[in-house]
Amino acid sequence: MDATDHIDAQARGGLIRQLAEWTAERPRTYAEAMEAWGSHCPALTIWEDALAARLIAVRPVPGAGRGGGAVSLTPAGRALINGPG
C-alpha cells in the first residue's frame, strides 16, 4: 500500500481542481501557496500531484527572495477548470 491509497481518486481529483481554481483566482506567491496547500502528510500530496501533472507552475521572480516565486496555472490547469472546449 502506498500513500495514494489513503485518499480516493475522486477526493484527490476534487482537491486538485480546488487548488487549480484557487490558483486562478488571483496572482499567488509560492509562500502563499505553501501556507495554504503545503502538507507534511505523505498521504495528502495535492500540491505535488498538481505540479507533477503540470497543472500549476512556479517561476522565480527576480528580487522576490525565498518564497516569492509566482505560482500560476498552466494551459493544462486552465483546461481542467474550464472543461473540454
CATH code: domain of residue 76: 1.10.10.10
Q: What is the pTM of this model?
A: 0.82
How many domains would you assign to the chain? 1
Q: What is the pLDDT along the chain (85 residues), one digit of tens a residue?
A: 454 456 788 889 999 999 999 999 999 999 999 999 988 888 888 999 999 999 999 998 887 777 678 999 999 999 999 986 5
Cβ-based neighbours of 49, under 8 Å, separated by 6 or more: 12, 16
Q: Which amino acid is at 66?
A: R
- Distance from C-alpha of 77 to C-alpha of 51, rounded to nearest angstrom: 10
Domain of residue 39: give its range.
3-82
